[in-house]
Structures are given as C-alpha cells and as structure tokens.
Amino acid sequence: MTDKQKYDIADLLYLMSRLRDPDTGCPWDLKQDFASIVPHTLEETYEVVDAIGRQDYDHLREELGDLLFQVIFYSQLGDEDELFDFHQVVDALVRKLVTRHPHVFPDKTLSSQRNPELNPEEGQIKQTWEALKRKDRSDKGKSGRLADVPLALPALSRASKLQKRASSHGFDWAELEPVVDKIDEELAELKEAIELNQSTHIEEELGDLIFACVNLARHSGLDAETVLRKANRKFETRFATMESQANDKQVVFESLNTEQKNQLWEAAKLIEKKRLLADQK
C-alpha cells in the first residue's frame, strides 16, 4: 500500500464517495441505484456462505469485504438521496442490539454490564429476544404475527422463519415424532395426487412435503438451506466421479444406458465411503 499501512472504514467510505463522484467517478457505479445492485448483494451473500461451507477462510475474508462493500454502497445511495448515511445505519444497529440484549446491557446503554455471577438461562434470553422483536414489529405497525417475514428470502429459509415465528407463538409440535409423521402424511398425499395425475394437486402436495421436511430440519437443530447445499455438493462430487469412471473406461457418458449409469453411481458411492473411512483413520 502506498497511502497507508492499513486502510480503515473511513477510507472505504471515502473510496465509495469517489466512485460516485459525478465528475470523476466510475461510470458503472454512477449508473447504479438501490434496485440494480440487489442481485450483486445476493451473489456476494451466497459467496460468503459458500466460503464458510468449504471452510475456505482466506477466501472468506475477501468475500466478507465484498459483502461489506454492498452495505457501503447502499449507504452512499441513501446519503445522496438524503434518506440515511452509513453512520446512521451503524447507530440504528447498535441501538437495536443493545436493546435486544438486556442480559448483557442491563441499563440499555453500551457501557452497562451485568453482574458476571448472574447467568441468564438460554430459554429466557430467547423469550426476551422474541418479545422485543414483537414490540418492534408492533411499533412499525406490522400487526400480523408473520407479517414481516421477508418475501424475497430463499423459499427454504423463509419456510424455516415462518415456522420459527409460529413456534414462538405456541403453534408447534413439542416432539420430533409427530413432525416425522407429518412427512409420511404429506408423502402419502403426494403419491395420491401423482396417481390421479393432477398437476396442480401434485404441485401443492409437493410444496407441503418440502415444507414438512424443512420443519424436520428445524426440529433437528439443522438449517434446511445448509442441509440442501451439502446434498448438492455430495451429488456434484458423485456425478463427477461417475464421469471420471466413464472416461477411464473410454466410453461416452451419454452412450451408457440407465442400468450402466446406476452401476457407476453405486461405484461412486462406494468410493466416497472408502474415502470417508480413510479420512477418519
């Protein structure tokens, strides 16, 4: 670096203002607005998630920077439109987090501290958090208990949030067994719809089945998005192994019949199992 040993947040804010300078800024950045950079925000978010999933922490540092830049960009746009600036974003965030953590900041000030000998129970902390969130929703005029679960969330994540919100209001199963039973029930209804060959009914019942599976993940302490991402990666790995086996045999993958491809799939699973056993040793 030529200007400084290490740049800081003030430098990043200055850089953003330079990129948006009407006379000397970047033409691409100058064309952007709130809506146009949303796809980039989603992409950067998923790249952060992917780096964490792969435990690629060197790459994660870079991806977190890219995600932070999205916040800086939105803040610059807000400042230009006299809506808000970055400092107001930070101020609102700190105030909200201080308020929602009375077990850490008992006087609702950043400098206050609780007695370290008083250890609040996790269940009570969660109840307090949800109660404060309900108050925030009420203050914002959102009366419905599910009203502010964002529509733009990925479907699996939104299903989990809807279920968690309903659970916080007492609408939930207390044990895992009825959750599994519900999956069996939805699967039976899907099979019936398939037998009747009713596409609209199939779509509805398939949605109910997926929703029930998300509920099982939640009750098992798992995140449905993470579970499916891992399943995707496993499928990709096995499929790549199948392709590799076909290449080793000098055959075109597409020329194989279903039975031959299934044999490669089972062989890929066996290779994966052996690899896992070797890693455990």
Residues 149, 161 contacting (CB under 8 angstroms): yes
Number of C-alpha atoms within 13 angstroms, CB side, residue 7? 11
Which helix (H) or strand (E) covers residue 193, if one does?
A: helix 177-196
Q: Using an 8 Å Cβ cutoff, are 149 and 165 in contact? A: yes
Cα–Cα dist 63/229, whole Å? 18
Look at residue 138 in the predicted model and tell me its pLDDT.
Answer: 64
State the pLDDT at residue 128. 74
Tell whether 42 and 68 lie within a shared domain. Answer: yes
Average pLDDT across the chain, whole number: 90
Q: What's the structural domain count of the chain?
A: 4
The CATH number of residue 68's host domain is 1.10.287.1080
pLDDT reported for residue 145: 82
Residues 6 or more apart whose Cβ sits within 8 Å of residue 54? none
Cβ proximity of 69 and 59 under 8 Å: no
* Residue 74 pLDDT: 98
- Residue 3: what pLDDT? 66
Residue 1 covered by a domain: no
- What is the amino acid identity at position 71? V
Domain for residue 189, yes or no?
Answer: yes
**pTM of the predicted structure, to 2 decimals:** 0.65
Domain end marker among 143, 171, 200? 143
Q: Is residue 3 domain-resident?
A: no
On whether residue 196 sits in a domain, the answer given is yes
Q: Output the pLDDT for position 100.
A: 87
Asked whether residue 93 falls in the same domain as residue 105, the answer is no
Residue 183 lies in a domain: yes
Point out the residues of the chain with pLDDT beneath 70: 1-4, 122-123, 129-130, 133-134, 136-143
Which pLDDT score is estimated for 2? 60
Burial class (CB in 10 A: 0-12, 13-18, 19+), 134: middle
C-alpha to C-alpha distance for 71 and 148, rounded to whole angstroms: 21
Domain that holds residue 115: 100-143
Residues 91, 24, single domain; the answer is yes
Instruction: Say if residue 27 is in the same domain as residue 81.
Output: yes
Verify that 214 and 233 share a domain, yes or no: no
What does the pLDDT read at residue 154? 87
- CA separation for the pair 268, 67 (Å, rounded): 37
- Where a domain ends, among 188, 220, 252? 220
